[in-house]
């Protein structure tokens, strides 16, 4: 009965499909029906993901956030800044070799966000 909001608008250079469309196709291949999914394919950043999603659903509703394990902390903080308060985490594992580089990228992105606020 869950409603899935698939968000991400950064289109792939090769296929032209957005992140949301790629997720939709993967979920359809795994038996999820299209009527269970809402595509939000305009977001170009995590901040946009939650701002746009807050226009689709009430941010006071409980949500399950699914994202990469290295991205989870920043995604949750961004969700909270967008008004979401009841957030359950469901991190997807990353390969051991890429985890460190990705965490560093998340730190840099968060520092940039903090710098822009000043």
Write the pLDDT tens digit of every residue in 5-27.
Answer: 999 988 888 888 999 999 999 99
Write the pLDDT tens digit of every residue in 47-62.
Answer: 999 999 999 999 999 9
> pLDDT class for 69, splitting at 50, 70, 90?
confident
Give the span between the Cα atoms of 51 and 2, in whole angstroms.
20
> pLDDT class for 85, splitting at 50, 70, 90?
very high
Calculate the average pLDDT of the chain.
87
Three-state DSSP class for 50?
Answer: helix
């Amino acid at each position: 009965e869950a409603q899935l909001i698939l968000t991400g608008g950064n289109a792939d250079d090769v296929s032209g499909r957005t992140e949301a469309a790629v997720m939709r196709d993967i979920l359809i291949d795994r038996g999820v029906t299209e009527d269970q999914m809402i595509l939000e394919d305009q977001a170009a950043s995590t901040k946009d993901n939650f701002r746009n999603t807050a226009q689709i659903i009430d941010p006071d509703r409980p949500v399950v956030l699914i994202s990469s394990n290295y991205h989870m902390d920043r995604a949750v903080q961004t969700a909270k800044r967008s008004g979401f308060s009841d957030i359950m985490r469901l991190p997807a594992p990353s390969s051991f070799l890429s985890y460190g580089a990705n965490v560093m990228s998340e730190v840099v992105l968060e520092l940039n966000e903090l710098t822009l606020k000043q």
